[in-house]
Amino acid sequence: MEVIYNGLFPLLPFSWAQPDGFLFMKNAFLAILVITPLFGLLSTMVVTNRMSFFSDALGHSAFTGMAIGALAGALAPIPCAIAFAVTFALLFTVARRRARMSSDTVIGVFSSTAVALGIFIATWGGQSFTKFNTLLIGDVLSVAPVEIGLLALLLVVVAILWLLALNRMLLSGVHGALADSRGIPVAVYEGVFSVAIALVVTLSMSWIGLLVINSMLVLPGAAARNLARNMRQYHLFSVLGALTAGIAGVLTSFEIGSSAGATITLYLAVFFALSFLGRKT
Amino acid sequence: MEKEKLYQNIRTRQPKHAPPPPGSCHGACCLRGTDLGLRLGDETVFQHVDLHIHCGEIVALIGPNGAGKSSLLKAILGQYPHTGQLDFFLSTGDRAQPVFGYVPQNPVFDRNDPISVLDLFIACIARWPVFLPVPKTLREKVLACLARVHGEKLIDRRVGTLSGGELQRVLLALALEPVPHILILDEPMSGVDIDGMKLLLDMLDEIRRSYDLSILMSTHDFTMLDPYVDKVLLLNDTIQAAGAPREVLNSDAFRTAFHLGKEWRV
């Protein structure tokens, strides 16, 4: 970390980046450099597989996980939240396949139930909801080096998943019957992808904020899709767009004192608007 | 002229002829289904279906809407759990697990999806992650696959922008890699014009000759069955009629299934 803090950061033209600058801002900057490519990657599949609403619901379940984690107290809030979110994601995938309802109805049912359960648990016994506000808004300035390390590990895991399974996830998403006929266990890949989203959302919710986290899963891919003509371009534009918006967002939020998560989302919205104007024919 | 080139291309890939040993299908490979049935929930989709398809045959599965054509194809593919016995025998007479090629019905790809034909092929036939730059050898392999249906020019097009006939050819090329024992097409002629149909059927005819594979397709279009198709199966709950196209199309079972008058003849 020393090399990054005192070797690389001073190369940036910002006062906070100098050796005597704000450590929290350096950490936040590093966290954004790790989180945004992660969301850029996931976003491509969320958009292609038409799972925007589904990922939103998963975000809500991650909140419930956090509430249960907080109830479990100092024991282990994060592992508890992860366990809940992963279970919920798997249950959800099964329900979506089994139910003979339209997908958005099933998602609506699950999503609202998850949020209600989260608020119910969070406020049980007259507790104040205030302590959960950071989960809703997010505070990337409070990220610690250990947590950045955890996010970096997650980025590596998702990158490996992409190397090993992207082809099958893509085919399962765009044409289940075709994937099935080629011996691909579609349900397994749907489950794996849902779990990946659940993990990433749960672990990054505290920094980005639940209210805007789904935009990070949708906007980079949606904007890249307007421009890209193949999967290479798609991933490149999505990751670069997320990274650029992330850096611009965290710098702006520092200057004007706004929420980083929301500021990044607004930059992503601009990226989407520009991509829409310049969309391919 | 173009077609000639295509045929040559297909012919160069002819398999070596295996000696004809004794077997359950008299020396040819075959797919045999006995008493196949499928229930989905409380509903019987089809029952007591017997079928026998030899390699090199083109078989058309016809029947009114809701007769269970797609379901029968999916049951054969193993996507639905069916009752009854389904066996595949090699030309040696040995029982084997057949390799299926499948061209799905009316595949819909979003016009905006950033998935090129090359991407679709890589996702289906290769382990190479589709988001990384494509190695030259892989691109050439995909070109060779597309050459079987004379579709090399389509390689960089987005799948969502292909016409019905073009997409049909791309999916056919996909189904032929790896070369299957049995090629199954679900309603390949829907949304394709007369010229496209002729092109497709000519292509299927050549494919079955060069690869000695069986082709089973469901169709709503009866005009082209004769002379392209060897055998027609009329499905409506069960197999109502089976035989040469003219035989089935002029049968009482056909007239009943499609509510045609007694005088109706092809």
Tens of pLDDT, residue by residue over B205-237, are 988 888 888 999 999 888 888 888 999 999 998
Is B134 an 8 Å CB contact of chain A?
yes
Residue B8 has pLDDT above 50, yes or no: no
Q: Is the pLDDT of residue B26 over 80?
A: no
Nearest to B130 among A170, A181, A182 (CB): A170
Q: Note if the pTM is more than 0.90.
A: no
A contact set with B (CB within 8 A) = 44, 48, 162-164, 166-168, 170-171, 174-175, 177-178, 180-182, 224-226, 228-235
The β-bridge relationship of strands B214-218 and B182-186 is parallel
**Domain spans, chain B:** 2-12+25-257
Looking at every residue in chain A, the average pLDDT score rounds to: 88
Domain spans of chain A? Answer: 11-125+136-277
**Residue A40 C-alpha, separation from nearest chain B C-alpha, in angstroms:** 13
Average confidence (pLDDT) over A129-140: 83
Beta-carbon separation of A163 and B122 below 8 A: no
A247 sits in which H/E element: helix A231-256
Which B residues 178-197 touch A at CB under 8 Å? none
The domain defined by B2-12+25-257 folds into Rossmann fold (3.40.50)
Question: Higher confidence at residue A72 or residue A264?
Answer: A264
B223-231: Cβ within 8 A, 24+ apart: B224/B189, B224/B197, B224/B198, B225/B60, B225/B62, B225/B249, B226/B266, B228/B58, B228/B201, B228/B204, B229/B58, B229/B59, B229/B60, B230/B57, B230/B58, B230/B59, B231/B53, B231/B57, B231/B58, B231/B59, B231/B60
Fold of A11-125+136-277: ABC transporter involved in vitamin B12 uptake, BtuC (1.10.3470)
The C-alpha of B103 sits at a distance from chain A's nearest C-alpha, in angstroms, of 8
Distance from CA of B154 to the nearest CA of A (A): 13
B152-170 pLDDT, tens digit per residue, is 999 999 999 998 888 888 9
- Band of residue B24 on the pLDDT scale cut at 50, 70, 90: low
- Tokens 């269970």 locate to B68
Give per-residue pLDDT as tens, A216-250: 999 999 999 999 999 999 999 999 999 999 999 99
pLDDT bracket for residue A2 (50, 70, 90): confident
ipTM, two decimals: 0.88
Q: What average pLDDT does chain B have?
A: 84
Cβ–Cβ contact B79 with A under 8 A: yes
Residue B15's pLDDT band (boundaries 50, 70, 90)?
A: very low
- Cβ contact (<8 Å) for A232 and B118? no
How does residue A75 score in pLDDT terms, banded at 50, 70 and 90? low
Please report the beta strands in chain B, taking only residues with DSSP state E, as ranges in sequence order: 30-40, 43-54, 58-62, 83-89, 100-103, 182-186, 214-218, 231-236, 238-243
The residue type found at A179 is A
pLDDT of residue B9: 44
Q: pLDDT (tens digit, 9 = 90+) per residue, B70-109?
A: 899 999 988 888 898 888 888 887 888 888 999 988 677 8
* Start-to-end CA span in chain B (Å): 32
Q: Which residues of B touch A40 (CB under 8 A)?
A: none
